[in-house]
Amino acid sequence: MLVVSRRKDESMMIGDELQLTVLEVQPDRALIVVARKNVSGRLTSWDETTRQWLGVDKTMPLGDDASCLVQRIRGERVRLAFMLPATVGLHRKEVYEAIHENWGDEPGSTDSSVGLGS
């Protein structure tokens, strides 16, 4: 289990295929959106697959053997616990983008989406 804190409009990258974003944080729940990468030729877009309000101790499935649990909400922060296969990477979006900038490749050019279903 990996635990991270996120604020409104902050995202996590799950493998190269999913982006989870906290859209809103209220005292007792958070609005979470999951988008899947859609590559069509040279164009890449993100298609929203799930939009859900989650309260504390509520879980959102992300695919095969993958889920996200809201552990705690404190002020403007929501603590998220990710249960993922060991082969799937999890990064803050800003770190994910920096890694791919430094490596000189396009984000998503490697396949680390094992176990996330479709």
pLDDT digits (tens, 9 = 90+) for 63-88: 889 999 999 999 999 999 999 999 99
Q: How much is the pLDDT for 63?
A: 86
Residues in the chain with pLDDT values less than 70: 104-118
Tell if the pTM clears 0.85, that is, is over it: no
Decide: helix, strand or coil at residue 96. Answer: helix
Residue 42, token pair as written in the block: 């040279």
Domain 2-102 has CATH 2.60.420: no
- Contacts of 42 by beta carbon, 8 Å cutoff, 6+ apart: none
Q: How much is the pLDDT for 116?
A: 53
Domains in the chain: boundaries = 2-102
Q: How much is the pLDDT for 102?
A: 80
